C-alpha cells in the first residue's frame, strides 16, 4: 500500500517535533537552568537559547527565574541598640540567582522557599548585630546630621553578602532596607523626651544667635546715631557762632545808639503782638503801643 507524500511529510514533522521535545530545551532571557543526569546536577546553563539534552529519565532540566526576587521579612523583631534601647525593625531585600549550580545543590532542587527561609535567618542575625553597634539616635533623631540610616542599611547588606558567599548559596544580594521601624511603648516616652531636649538645644542656639545679631544691629544703630548727633551738634555750634557774631555786631551799634536799640526792641514787640488778627484796647502810653501815637503825630505834622 502506497502512502501519499502528505502523510509522509506529516509523519516526518511529528518525528522532528518528538525529537525536539525529547532531546532539546529552550532557556529564555530571564532564566537560568541546571541539567541533571540521573538526579545529579551536571551542568549549568546561564545563557538564553536552545540546548540539547538526553531524554527523561536520563536527564532532566530545572529552570529558575534569574530576575530580581523581592523578599520581605514577616516579623517585626525587637532588637537592642548600643545604648540599650529596644527597637522594633522589619526589613526587605532584593536578591537574584547568581550561580544556578550552587543554588540547585544548596536548596534541594533549587527551592526558592528554602532559599528565602535561609535568607530570613541571615538577615535577622545581621540586623541584630549591626543595630547593636549603633545608638538609637543613628536611626531615630531630630538632628538630620546625626542620622546614619542609609549607612546602617548598607552595613546589614554587606554582612549578609559575606554570609551568603561563605555558605555558597549561589545568590547575590542586590539591596537591603528597612521597611518599618517602631518603638515599644516603654521606650516611646523617653525617646520623645530626648527629641524634645535636642529641639530645645536648637532653640537655645538660634535664640542666642538672634540675640547676638540684635545686639550687633543695635550697636551699629547707636554708633550711626552718635555720628549724626555729633554732626548736628557741630553744625548747631557753627550756626550759633555765626548768630552770636552777627549779634555782637548789632550790639556794638546798639551801644553807640541806645535810643535806636530801644526803638527796635519796642517795634519788634509791636510786630509780634499784631501778627494775629485781634482787637486790643490799651492805653496809647503803654509800651510798645505808644509808638502808634508817635506814628500818627508824625503823619499829622507832615
Q: Is 148 exposed, middle or buried (0-12, 13-18, 19+ CB in 10 A)?
A: middle
- pLDDT at 284 exceeding the cut of 80: no
More confident residue, 109 or 193: 109
- Alpha-carbon gap, residue 145 to 253, rounded angstroms: 85
pLDDT averaged over every residue in the chain: 81
Query: Helix, strand, coil % (nearest 5) of the chain?
Result: 55, 20, 25
pLDDT at 266 over 50: yes
Question: Sorting pLDDT into bands at 50, 70 and 90, what band is 130?
Answer: very high
What φ, ψ does residue 2 adopt, rounded to 5°? -85, 140
User: How large is the average pLDDT for residues 216-223?
Assistant: 88
- Map out the domains of the chain with their CATH numbers: 5-64 (no CATH), 69-183 (3.30.479.30), 258-301 (no CATH)
Q: Which three cell numbers stand for residue 10?
A: 506529516
Look at residue 96 and tell me whether its pLDDT is greater than 70: yes
1-5, 92-96, 242-246: the lowest-pLDDT one: 1-5
pLDDT: which is higher, 126 or 182 = 126
Per-residue pLDDT at 199 exceeds 80: no
Tens-digit pLDDT profile for residues 12-39:
777 777 776 778 888 998 899 999 988 8
Q: Above pLDDT 70, what percent of the chain?
A: 76
Ordered DSSP codes for 84-120: S-EEEEEEEEEEEES-HHHHHHHTTTT-HHHHHHHHH
Question: Mean pLDDT over residues 58-76, rounded?
Answer: 88
CB atoms within 10 A of CB 81: 19
Q: What are the CA-CA distances from residue 285 to residues 52, 64, 268, 298 (Å)?
A: 147, 133, 17, 16
Is residue 263 predicted with pLDDT exceeding 80?
no
Q: Burial of 51 by CB count in 10 Å (0-12 exposed, 13-18 middle, 19+ buried)?
A: middle
pLDDT value, residue 283: 59
How far is residue 164 from each of residues 120, 129, 173, measured CA to CA in Å?
A: 12, 16, 8
SS3 39: coil
More confident call, 290 vs 161: 161
Q: What is the pLDDT of residue 164?
A: 94
**DSSP 3-state of 277:** coil
Report the C-alpha gap between 65 and 94 in whole angstroms. 14
pTM for the predicted model, two decimal places: 0.57
Q: Where does the pLDDT of residue 300 fall: very low under 50, low under 70, confident under 90, or very high at 90 and above? A: very low
Amino acid at each position: 500500500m502506497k502512502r501519499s507524500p502528505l502523510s509522509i511529510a506529516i509523519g516526518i514533522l511529528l518525528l522532528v517535533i518528538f525529537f525536539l521535545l525529547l532531546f532539546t530545551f529552550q532557556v529564555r532571557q530571564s532564566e537560568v537552568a541546571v541539567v541533571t543526569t540521573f538526579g545529579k546536577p551536571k551542568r549549568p546553563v546561564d545563557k538564553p537559547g536552545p540546548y540539547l539534552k538526553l531524554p527523561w529519565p536520563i536527564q532532566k532540566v530545572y529552570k529558575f527565574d534569574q530576575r530580581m526576587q523581592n523578599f520581605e521579612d514577616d516579623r517585626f523583631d525587637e532588637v537592642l541598640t548600643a545604648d540599650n534601647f529596644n527597637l522594633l525593625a522589619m526589613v526587605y531585600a532584593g536578591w537574584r540567582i547568581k550561580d544556578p549550580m550552587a543554588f540547585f545543590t544548596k536548596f534541594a532542587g533549587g527551592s526558592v522557599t528554602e532559599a528565602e527561609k535561609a535568607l530570613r535567618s541571615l538577615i535577622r542575625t545581621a540586623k541584630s548585630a549591626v543595630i547593636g553597634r549603633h545608638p538609637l539616635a543613628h536611626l531615630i533623631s531630630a538632628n538630620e546630621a546625626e542620622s546614619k540610616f542609609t549607612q546602617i542599611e548598607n552595613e546589614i547588606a554587606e554582612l549578609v553578602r559575606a554570609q551568603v558567599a561563605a555558605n555558597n548559596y549561589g545568590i547575590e544580594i542586590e539591596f537591603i532596607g528597612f521597611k518599618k521601624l517602631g518603638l515599644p511603648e516603654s521606650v516611646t516616652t523617653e525617646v520623645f523626651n530626648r527629641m524634645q531636649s535636642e529641639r530645645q538645644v536648637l532653640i537655645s542656639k538660634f535664640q542666642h544667635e538672634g540675640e547676638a545679631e540684635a545686639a550687633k544691629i543695635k550697636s551699629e544703630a547707636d554708633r550711626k546715631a552718635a555720628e549724626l548727633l555729633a554732626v548736628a551738634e557741630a553744625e548747631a555750634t557753627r550756626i550759633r557762632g555765626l548768630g552770636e557774631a552777627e549779634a555782637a555786631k548789632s550790639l556794638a551799634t546798639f551801644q553807640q545808639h541806645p535810643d535806636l536799640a530801644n526803638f527796635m526792641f519796642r517795634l519788634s514787640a509791636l510786630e509780634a503782638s499784631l501778627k494775629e488778627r485781634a482787637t486790643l484796647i490799651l492805653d496809647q502810653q503803654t509800651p510798645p503801643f505808644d509808638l502808634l501815637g508817635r506814628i500818627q503825630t508824625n503823619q499829622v505834622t507832615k
